[in-house]
Structure 1
């Protein structure tokens, strides 16, 4: 038996397939596997409608498994397809209902290139394009472009996102990155989890408490959790509680960026106290030199050029408390700048010596934080200097996603789109 052609070519009725093509016969290529063109129904500038049918003559019964070729009846199903030369293309699929010659049962045929929905049907290649477009546009824009219902597109995106996320979570995760991001700042937050080795988003979980993170970890199973060797998070106590409960065997690292913000907070408070030179409401209320150099005071010394160092020296000169705060901040920066754990301990010792000579109240809270989180901070040197940098990049992409969608009300919809969009390889 001759093999069926790969592409749909001749638009002639089935009864005339063996006859010679007439001079007015139309030829069209759909490039759909195992699909035969019956006729072109509509061929105008703005749209194209093509009637197609499955190229098979014999199928397997869904009930008994025996082959049958007896067709009981047929119906036409509207299927949306990719645009053809800029024209909206619709397929009228002649879907046959077979009657099994062995068991007598009736069943409808399926096609591997067609995805059947409840009311809306699309080709598989259009579904792939829809998922790509949703990554850069809002669901509403994609809906208007292709003339498809919003809910169908959202369900299609959610289904594909579920498969992608499940595939990612099946693989071993050695470094787990955990952070939070806001759906609505001050009101609703979600927990973001990323594979630190691949940069792939593993999941978006409602809320930012211990229960949220624990639920995600428990759902992965003990085998998956045993594969996690390093966990990086911010200074969240609920996260630390969940990590100690489920990933106690892993090394917990406090993210360098969040620690640096803690370090800088003491310097900022000292600067705010010193810069005020008049009561509130007066002009000028702040020392302009101290205020204008606020970002310069927070910079690492090794990142400054000669002119910046000279300007900083002029600001610190004559302000002993501000100078002491700046020196303590530089020593704290040295904990992460250090190449080895020994050098980091020396930087911490230098901070303690400076704090003893200048016990500023603004740094008192920071000393308690260092005692509470010391193991997680210094674990940075034991784990090849791992950070949450990838997850911060992912959070930036999530911010873009929220702007594209004009905000999210449904957390599940946000999570579905985030898994497809926000990965930082």
Structure 2
């Protein structure tokens, strides 16, 4: 049975050059499946039980050497288990991290700075600066998406809190990794971020720096890989979660896969 093995049968089809990999839950916060999609056509290839290295590695091994050699680019989130399976079975392909997950990692540094800046001395009421707190969503936006009034509001905030301005500028340069036209432009944006971080004003970005160093190949290869995205598979995961909620959860992997591939 499929549920008794981590190595499903082969697809008996031509290989896909762009492979998207992500996870979704079969029961909320309990059981997960690994979803694999053809990034060119949007076709769901399989939903493999579990989200482990063994699950993904077993699926890829079952497809055979010829199918695996046909995969040129793989897009995933920052799962170390998926990264290990991809390195083992698809070492020839470019492994790229989905930019949505990367930007979320980057934004965590700004969030940490904002939370520190908004705190007031013990005993103060309210316990945090309301102006800084209200600006939390505007701070997450890129400068080119702000209108005049929003930019003036942030400029006033930055005048009162210079460290917040440094953090916002740093996040803007990290956005530049993806806004750049090519890898060279991305490296230039990275240099500008390093200059800001090097001032020592935003130590909260240390985790961001460590994360980037751990995944720099998968982040910077985005340009050479054709700027791929996991957007298609994220949309399919939304459909799968609607299916799960309608069924009040699934207990059988095969049933979830059959229904999931049917609607997707």
Q: Do the two structures share a fold, i.e. TM-score over 0.5?
A: yes
Aligned residue-pair number:
258
Counterpart Cα distance in 1 of 2:168 and 2:259: 44
Corresponding position of 2:37: 194
Q: 1:417 aligns with which of 251, 259, 262?
A: 259
Corresponding position of 2:90: 247
Q: Per-residue displacement from partner, 1:233-282 (whole Å, max 9, x unpaired)?
A: 111111111001000000111111010000001111111111121549x7
- Is the Cα–Cα contact under 8 Å of residues 169 and 202 in structure 1 kept in the other structure? no
- Is the Cα–Cα contact under 8 Å of residues 27 and 244 in structure 2 kept in the other structure? no
TM-score calculated relative to the size of structure 2: 0.92
Write 1 or 2 for the structure with the bigger share of strand: 1
Counterpart Cα distance in 1 of 2:223 and 2:90: 20
- Is the Cα–Cα contact under 8 Å of residues 163 and 201 in structure 2 kept in the other structure? no
What does residue range 44-55 of structure 1 map to in structure 2 within 5 Å?
A: none
Pairwise CA distance, 1:170: 1.2
Counterpart Cα distance in 2 of 1:205 and 1:385: 26
* Alignment gaps of 5+ in structure 2: 1-7
Pairwise CA distance, 1:169: 5.6
Counterpart Cα distance in 1 of 2:10 and 2:50: 24
Write 1 or 2 for the structure with the bigger share of helix: 2
Corresponding position of 2:142: 300
Q: 1:323 aligns with which of 158, 161, 165?
A: 165
- Is the Cα–Cα contact under 8 Å of residues 106 and 171 in structure 2 kept in the other structure? yes
Q: Which structure: larger Rg?
A: 1
What does residue range 357-372 of structure 1 map to in structure 2 within 5 Å?
A: 357-372=199-214
Counterpart Cα distance in 1 of 2:72 and 2:225: 10
Q: Per-residue displacement from partner, 1:74-93 (whole Å, max 9, x unpaired)?
A: xxxxxxxxxxxxxxxxxxxx
SS of the aligned residue for 1:180 comes to strand
What does residue range 326-345 of structure 1 map to in structure 2 within 5 Å?
A: 326-345=168-187
Pairwise CA distance, 1:228: 0.4
Corresponding position of 1:393: 235
Pairwise CA distance, 1:359: 4.5
Pairwise CA distance, 1:184: 3.0
SS of the aligned residue for 2:103 comes to helix
Moved over 4 A (4+): 165-169
SS of the aligned residue for 2:227 comes to coil
- Answering whether residue 119 of structure 2 is matched by residue 276 of structure 1, we say yes
- Is the Cα–Cα contact under 8 Å of residues 73 and 96 in structure 2 kept in the other structure? yes
What does residue range 111-122 of structure 1 map to in structure 2 within 5 Å?
A: none
* Alignment gaps of 5+ in structure 1: 1-164
SS of the aligned residue for 1:232 comes to strand
Corresponding position of 1:207: 50
Q: Tell me which of the two structures has the higher relative contact order, counting C-alpha pairs closer than 8 angstroms and 6 or more residues apart.
A: 2
- Is the Cα–Cα contact under 8 Å of residues 321 and 358 in structure 1 kept in the other structure? no
Pairwise CA distance, 1:324: 0.8
